[in-house]
Structure 1
Amino acid sequence: MFTAARNSLLIFFLGVCGLSSAGTAQTSPTPSLDEASRPLRIQRDVRWTTAAGMPLTVDIVAPEIIERSLPVVVIYHGGGWLINDNQIMNSTARYLASHGNFVVANMNYRLLGDNDNTTTMDDIIGDALGGLLWVKENIAHYGGDPTRIAVTGDSAGGHLSAMVLLAARRLSSEKFSPSNLAFRPSYIPPGKTPEQIAKEDSLRVQAAVLSYGSFDIFQSALKGFESPNNFFWQMGNAKARGIFGETYRVENQPELYKAVSPIYLVPESADYRLPPVFAHVGSRDTTTPPTAVEAFVTRLRAAGQPVEYKLYPGKNHAFLDNGCNEYLGTCFDRDAPDTLDDMIGFLQRTLGEQE
C-alpha cells in the first residue's frame, strides 16, 4: 500500500506548520535495541479494512507465550499526516510488547497524499477510529483483552490518539462538512451505524499516552501548513492543498479546522470524563514544543480531566522512532527506553494487571 519512494525517504516530518528547514535527516531502517524481556510473535500486514479502494493494515506484536489475555496498546505513527508508515514505530511496538507484556496493534492509516492527493484530515481521523473499532472486535484472537485498551502515538500520531478520545462520540454516517462536524469510521462492525457506536460510547478506551503530539491544527493551518512553502508536501509526493480539499480554507471555515484540533474539543469532566492521559515532550523539541503540549495539558486540567505530564530534559522530537535521526540528534537506543519505561508504568497502573 505504501510506495517505495515514500519508504525510501525515512525522514520524519519536522514541524506541524511545515515551515522548518529540515534538510535530509536520515533514520536508521533497522532497530538495534534487543527486545530481551520476552520473545515475540509478530503478525505483519493484517488487513483491517479497505478505504476508498486502499487496503489498510496493522502489525500485531505480542509476547510469544500468552497465558492469559493481555492489555492492548494501539499505536498511530507520526509523520505529519504526509509521510511514514507504521514501520517507523517498530522499535517502540516491540519494546512495549516485550518489556510491558502488552499486545500491540501498530496501525497504518491513509496519508493526505494518498488516493491521488484526495485524502482529507477527517478521512485520516476516520481511519484512526475505524482501526480502533477493528481492534476491539478482533484483538481477542491475538491474546488481547478488548476491555483494556490504550491508544498512543507520536506527533501526528499523538494528534490522532487525542482525537480518538475526543471524537469518539461525534460520529455520523454523513460526510464531514461545515454543517456536519462529525466523523465516519472507515471500519464499522457489522450491524452497527456510526450513530449507534457514538451513542453506546463503543470507542472508549481506558488510557492514552500522547507523545509530543500536535494539538492545534487550526493554528498550524493559519501558519502555512497548506502552503507550497511547506516542503513536506513534496516529501509526501503531493501538491500542497487544503487538508479538507480545494473547497475549504482556514480563513473561511475555521470551524472545520477546530473540529480536528484536540485543544478546542476537551469536555468538562462533569459532562464527560476522559480516561487517564499521560502527555510528554522533550525540552529541546521545536517541532511540537513544550509550550504547545503544555497548553493542551493545561486545557485538560482546567476541565478537570485526569492527566499526567512530563518534560524530558535534553530530548528533541521523534525520539520514539526507529534508529537515529542525525538532524534531530536523537537515537532510539539512547533516548527512548526511559520514556518507554515511564509509559509502561503508566499503562500498567491504568490498565491494571489481570487477576
Structure 2
Amino acid sequence: MRSSLRLFFILCTAILGVTANAADVKIHKAIEFAKPDNFPLTLDIYVPQTGKKSYPVLVIYHGGGWLLNNNSIMHDLANKIARDGDMVVANMNYRLLADQNNTVAINQIIEDVFGGLLWVKDHIAEYRGDPTRVAITGDSAGGHLTTMILTRGRQLESDGFAGPSLGFKPSYLPAGKTAEQVAQEDGLKVQAAVVSYGAFDLYKTAQGDFETPKNMFWKFANAEARGMFGNKITTKNNADYYKAVSPIYWVPVSSEYKLPPQFVHVGSLDKTTPPEAAQAYVDLLTAGKQPVEYKVYPGKNHAYLDNGCNWANSCFDKDAVEPVNDIIAFLRKTLKD
C-alpha cells in the first residue's frame, strides 16, 4: 500500500512540474523564460524546504562545448548546493550551436544566458530567492558563459551583435526596458561567481580545430562542423567577432569596474580546459586588483561536476566532493546575510 501511495505521489508531482526529494528540496521543472525565434528556453528551480522566508541564489550554466547537454547534466550539483548550501538554485538551459537546424551563433547563446539571468532576477523572489544575493557559476563552456556575464554584461544594445560595438541583446528583457537601459543600470551585476574549469579565449579556440570535423562534439551533436558565427565569419577576416565573445580580452581593472569575488578552479589533469588557461585568467584578475580565489585540484580531470561518471573518468560522487564543499564555503562567505 505504501509503495502504491509513493508511486501515486511521484506521478502527481511530475505532472505538476514540481518534485521533492528526500532531502527536502522542491524542484520546479521546465519553467519557460524566453522563446527566441520560437525556441523555448527553460530552467529548473531548486528550493530548500528549511522554512526560511528568503535564500541566496545560485544560477548554473552547464557545459558541453556549446554543442552538447542540457541542464539535466547539472542536476546532482544543483540538488546538492540547494540541500547542503541552503540556497535557491536556478539550473539554466540555453540554445546550442547545433539547434535551429545548426544555425545558432555563439553570440545568441550568450544572449540567452544574459536573458536567463535577467529573468531570474525578475522572478526568483516568487521562489523565495533573494534577488540582491545572486551568484553565477558554470563549468567548461558554462564557465565561459559565466565569465561573459562578468566581463561583457554591460555591453548591451538593442541591435544586438549587428550593432557597431558587437554588443548583445538578451533573449529576455525586463518589462518596459531596453538593452541599453539594462546596461546603464548594470542589470546583470551579481554578488559572486564560481568559474569551474572554464574556457576563456574563443578566438584562440577557433584558430584550432573547434570549427572543423576534428572536433568530435559536432559529430556527437549530429551536426556538420562550421564556424561559431556561421561559415562567412572567420578568425582571419573577423578577429573582432571572436574576441568580442572571449572574456580573456575584457577583464577590467578594479579602478574602472569592480568585479564580484570569484572562485576559479580546475583539475591538474585537465587537457580540455587546462590549468594554464585558468591561470592566465586569474593572473589578469590579480593584475587588475580584482578579488579572486584560485585552486587546482590534484589528480582531477575535466567535468568532475557533471552527473554520474563520464568520458573524462570523472565521477560526481567521488571527484566533486571537495570542490562542491569549497564552492559552498565560498558562496556562504560571499552571499552571507
Question: What band does the TM-score fall into relative to the shorter chain?
Answer: over 0.9
1:336 matches 2:297: no
The answer (yes or no) to whether the contact 2:157–2:163 under 8 Å persists in 1 is: no
Question: Match for 2:110 among 109, 125, 133?
Answer: 125
| C-alpha deviation, 1:179, in angstroms | 3.0
Q: CA distance change for structure 1 residues 178 and 289 in 2, over 3 Å: closer, same or farther? A: farther
Aligned to 2:142: 157
Aligned to 1:227: 212
1:286 matches 2:267: no
C-alpha separation in 2, matches of 1:154 and 1:232: 16
Q: How many residues align?
A: 318
Structure 1 moving runs of 4+ over 3 Å: 35-38
C-alpha separation in 1, matches of 2:244 and 2:88: 31
CA offsets, 1:114-164, max 9 Å, x none? 111111010000000000000000000001000000000100000001001
Aligned to 1:8: none
* Aligned residue identity for 2:78: A
* Aligned residue identity for 1:346: F
| C-alpha deviation, 1:100, in angstroms | 0.1
Q: What SS does the aligned partner of 1:176 have?
A: helix
| C-alpha deviation, 1:36, in angstroms | 9.4
C-alpha separation in 2, matches of 1:245 and 1:328: 29
| C-alpha deviation, 1:228, in angstroms | 2.0
C-alpha separation in 1, matches of 2:82 and 2:63: 19
Aligned to 1:96: 81
C-alpha separation in 1, matches of 2:178 and 2:96: 25
Higher relative contact order (CA 8 A, sep 6+): 1
Show structure 2 runs of 5+ residues with no match: 1-19
> What TM-score do you get using the length of structure 1 for normalisation?
0.87
The answer (yes or no) to whether the contact 2:227–2:234 under 8 Å persists in 1 is: yes
Aligned to 1:115: 100
CA offsets, 1:218-262, max 9 Å, x none? 100011211122121111121111111222101111111111111
C-alpha separation in 2, matches of 1:148 and 1:267: 22
Show structure 1 runs of 5+ residues with no match: 1-34
Q: What SS does the aligned partner of 1:324 have?
A: coil
Aligned to 1:18: none
Q: How does 1:34-73 map to 2 (within 5 A)?
A: 38-73=23-58
The answer (yes or no) to whether the contact 1:37–1:99 under 8 Å persists in 2 is: no
1:196 matches 2:178: no
* Aligned residue identity for 1:351: L
CA offsets, 1:58-85, max 9 Å, x none? 0001112332210000000000000000
Q: CA RMSD in A?
A: 1.4
Structure richer in helix, relative to its length:
2
| C-alpha deviation, 1:51, in angstroms | 1.2
C-alpha separation in 1, matches of 2:296 and 2:247: 20
